[in-house]
Amino acid sequence: MSHLMNNYARLPVTFSHGEANWLVDTEGRRYLDALSGIAVNTLGHNHPALVRAISEQATRMLHVSNIYRIREQELLSDRLAALSGMSEVFFCNSGCEANEAAIKLARFYGHQRGIETPAIIVMEHAFHGRTLATLSATGNRKTQAGFEPLVPGFIRVPYNDLNAIRAVAARNRDIVAVMLEIVQGEGGIHLASIEYQRELRALCDQEGWLMICDEVQCGMARTGKWFGFQHSGVLPDIITLAKGLASGVPIGACLTAKAAAGLFGPGNHGSTFGGNPLACTAALTTLETIEKDGLMFNAEKIGAYLKQRFAEAFAGLAGVVEIRGQGLMLGIELDRPCGELLSEALHAGLLISVTSGCVIRLLPALTFSVDEADELVRRIVPLVRDFLAGKAARGTAGGNA
C-alpha cells in the first residue's frame, strides 16, 4: 500500500525506462509519448547528450548556495538573455515559483510608484500555478475551490479581448501589470493573436504597466520560436519559464527587461535550490541541443504536418470542433467531455492529455519525427472516431508497434 497523498488521478501504469519518444512499462509494453511529461521532456527520454552532461556535472558538484557565484548559472543567464532579448534572470525550481516572482516584481514595481494596492490584470481560463498567489491568478474556479480566501489584487478579463482591458483601465488606477500566457495550455490550447499581443504591448507602454508573459508551457522552442512572444515581435517586461527548460530536471526562471529590470535587490527574493549547477547544466545542454539539432525548426515542421494530417483525417466528422495550436503544442477540441480517452489511449500504447474537459492536448518532444507523427495519427484517429460514435475502443494493450 502506497502512502502517497491521493492528489493525482493516476492511470494504472508504471514506466521502467524511456528511449527517445517511447516509454516502456514494467511489463515490457511500449508507448508512444505524445505528452513529454506535459511539455517537460524537450529532448525526449534518455538523450545521450543530456545524460552525459548531467552525469559529468554530478561528479563535480550538485548544489552550492546562491550566496556564492555559480558559473553554470551565469552562463545560462547570459544564454537566455541573448535568446530572448531580456536583461536579467532569476532562477527558481518550477513554473509557479517563476510566476510568483513575476507577481512579486509587479507589486514591488507598483509600490515604488506609490500605488498602495497594486492590481494585476489576468485572463479567464488562465493557469499560472497552484501556490496561493498563482492559484488566485489562475482562471479556473474548479482548481481554486476549497482554498479560499484567495490572494487579492487580480482583475480577470476575457482572453484576447483588448477592449475588456481598456474598460478595466478606465475605472481602476491601481493596475500595474497584465499577465497572460501566449498560448493557454491548461485552458485548451488557445493562442493570443499577433494583433492582440502588439496592441497590448502598446497599451502597457501607454499606461506604464508591466507586460508579463507566462511561457512556462509554450516557451523553449515549442511553438517554432524560442519563445511564443517572438512570433509577434513584442518584448515583454517579464517572461517566466520552466517545464522544458532543462528537459526534465526541475528549474524555473523569471526574466526581466525594460521597466522590470533592476527592481529586485539583495533580500527582495530568493530560492535555496534555484539555479543550482546540475539544473543549469541540464538547461544549457538542452539549449545547445535544440540549436545544434535544429529542433526549433523541427517543432514548426512536425507541428504543421500533424495539423494537416488531423485536418484531413477529421474533415467533416461531426463532433470535432477545431484543431488548433502552434508548433508542437496542439489541441483537438471535441464537442463533449472526453476524459475517458486518456485510458483508451493508454490501452492503445499512446500517452496524451485531456485539458479543459474536451480538448485533446498533444505536446510531443521536439525530437518527434515524421514517422512518429504518422504513428500518432494512426493511433489517435480511430480512438476519436470510435469515441464520437459511442463505441469502445480497446485494442491490444501497449500497442507494441
pLDDT at 361: 98
Residue 110: burial class (beta carbons within 10 Å; 0-12, 13-18, 19+): buried
Sheet holding 320-325, edge to edge: 320-325, 330-334, 359-362, 353-355
Closest CA to 99 of 269, 281, 337: 269
Residues 6 or more apart whose CB falls under 8 angstroms from that of 401 comprise 30, 349, 375
**Interatomic CA distance for residues 210 and 256, integer angstroms:** 10
Query: What is the secondary structure of 249-281 as a DSSP string?
Result: S--EEEEE-GGGTT---TTS---SSTT-HHHHH
* The pLDDT value given to residue 392: 52
Written as nine digits, the cell of 119 is: 492590481
Cβ contacts of residue 68 below 8 Å, gap of 6+?
A: none
Report pLDDT for 398.
Answer: 41
Distance from CA of residue 372 to its chain's centroid? 22
pLDDT of residue 1: 64
Given a contact cutoff of 8 angstroms between Cβ atoms, the answer to whether 247 and 47 are in contact is yes
Q: Are 226 and 204 in contact (CB under 8 A)?
A: no
The four Cα atoms 171, 173, 176, 180 give a dihedral, to 10 degrees, of 0
Q: What gap in Å lies between CA 93 and CA 77, rounded to an integer?
A: 15
Sign of the CA dihedral with 201 first, then 203, 204, and 208 last: positive
CA distances from 316 to 178, 267, 284, 309, 341 (A): 39, 59, 45, 14, 21
Q: Which residues pair with 355 in a beta bridge?
A: 359
Q: Is the dihedral of CA 48, 49, 52, 53 positive or negative?
A: negative
Strands, E, within 94-215: which ranges?
119-123, 154-157, 175-181, 183-184, 190-191, 210-214
Of 350, 330, 333, the C-alpha closest to 342 is 350
Helix and strand numbers, DSSP H then E, in the chain: 12, 17
Asked if residue 185 lies in contact with residue 361, where contact means CB atoms within 8 angstroms, the answer is: yes
- Which residues lie closer than 8 Å to 394 by C-beta, 6 or more apart? 344, 347
Alpha carbons 203 and 164: distance in angstroms, whole number: 12
Rounded to two decimals, the pTM is 0.95
| Residue-by-residue pLDDT tens, the chain, 401 positions | 689 999 999 999 999 999 999 999 999 999 999 999 999 999 999 999 999 999 999 999 999 999 999 999 999 999 999 999 999 999 999 999 999 999 999 999 999 999 999 999 999 999 999 999 999 999 999 999 999 999 999 999 999 999 999 999 999 999 999 999 999 999 999 999 999 999 999 999 999 999 999 999 999 999 999 999 999 999 999 999 999 999 999 999 999 999 999 999 999 999 999 999 999 999 999 999 999 999 999 999 999 999 999 999 999 999 999 999 999 999 999 999 999 999 999 999 999 999 999 999 999 999 999 999 999 999 999 999 999 999 754 443 344 33
How far apart, in whole angstroms, are the C-alpha atoms of residue 193 and residue 207?
A: 21
State in Å, rounded, how far the first CA of the chain is from the last one: 33
**Residue 319, helix vs strand vs coil:** coil
- CA 69/CA 262 separation, integer angstroms: 18
pLDDT the model gives residue 311: 98
Q: What's the rounded Cα separation, in Å, for the pair 213 and 179? A: 6
